[in-house]
A = this chain, B = another copy of it.
């Protein structure tokens, strides 16, 4: 097991680590649903430090902790904390580690989590550091594929904003462990960066690129949609054209595979029409829920339980 004190990046995990966490998550799913009680973290405190808001990630960690009998403390929104008095992140971490057994950190700056982890002897989990990493999102994405479609050898299309999307960059690395066949579907101005494509080629991972979802939709197990942010476009007309093209509706799903599923890290805005929600392919709300058992498994592992 290469997973030691902290989880900063999915790149620090080997395939055995990932498989261990996913397997443990599966055994905890009934606890996550509240169908079985488990008090393994009774007496333990998780501190959540969100230097930028991420409601669902925070709530998901809180629920994971509480379903295991633990409790949480929250730093609160940054403008009302001592951060506004000019305290460094290093100092805040050294204070908070006196109040908790484990720390979850979301921070807008790339590298913040790795730096923070050096200042505490308690386990620290990166819940997103700028455009860099968000490893628990990647783990729950993998878990969703395993539970709802397939993971090993999965044929997956990543669609939407592949240039700026932190989620898809981490996911691509993780998929490479599982011999995935990847299609990148994006408008040219939001294409997957060359650096990541070069890495894939070096690792011998197959991938293809296209501009249209319809080119791939009938031949994949998983369609992973992402949000295209208006602020990426200088011209609103350009945005509207792209946003329209990267919107899934139920009528496009007539020829898909049996185990086909649609995933989305949420929140969605216009990328998926609500008429898709009632199809058997819509798994984005399950995906969101799967954050709970996956984070439970991770907390137990990092806390040595």
Contact = CB atoms under 8 A, between A and B. Distances in A.
Contacts of A62: 73, 99
How many copies altogether? 3
Interface in A44-90: 44-45, 47, 53-56, 58-60, 62-63, 66-67, 69, 71, 73, 75-77, 80-82, 84-87, 90
A100 to B, nearest CB: 7
A55 B67 contact: no
Interface residues of A, number: 52
B75 A55 contact: yes
A267 B75 contact: no
Interface stretch (A131-139, A142-150, A194-202, A284-292): A284-292
A285 B82 contact: no
Interface in A258-304: 266-269, 274, 285-286, 288-289, 291-292
Given A34-B101, A85-B269, A59 B91 contact: no
A59 B99 contact: yes
A300 to B, nearest CB: 15
A276 B298 CA distance: 35
B285 A87 contact: no
A196 to B, nearest CB: 25
A255 to B, nearest CB: 27
Interface string A75-118: 11100111011110011101110111100000000000000000
A42 interface: yes
Given A43-B34, A91-B268, A82 B98 contact: no
Contacts of A77: 76-77, 80
A285 B75 CA distance: 17
A62 B46 CA distance: 12
6 contacts: A45-B63, A56-B95, A59-B96, A63-B73, A94-B288, A99-B292
Interface of A: 34, 37, 42-45, 47, 53-56, 58-60, 62-63, 66-67, 69, 71, 73, 75-77, 80-82, 84-87, 90-92, 94-96, 98-101, 266-269, 274, 285-286, 288-289, 291-292
Given A37-B43, A56-B82, A60-B99, 19 more contacts: A43-B69, A53-B76, A53-B84, A55-B75, A59-B73, A59-B96, A59-B99, A63-B99, A66-B73, A71-B71, A87-B268, A94-B285, A94-B288, A95-B285, A98-B285, A98-B288, A98-B289, A99-B289, A99-B292
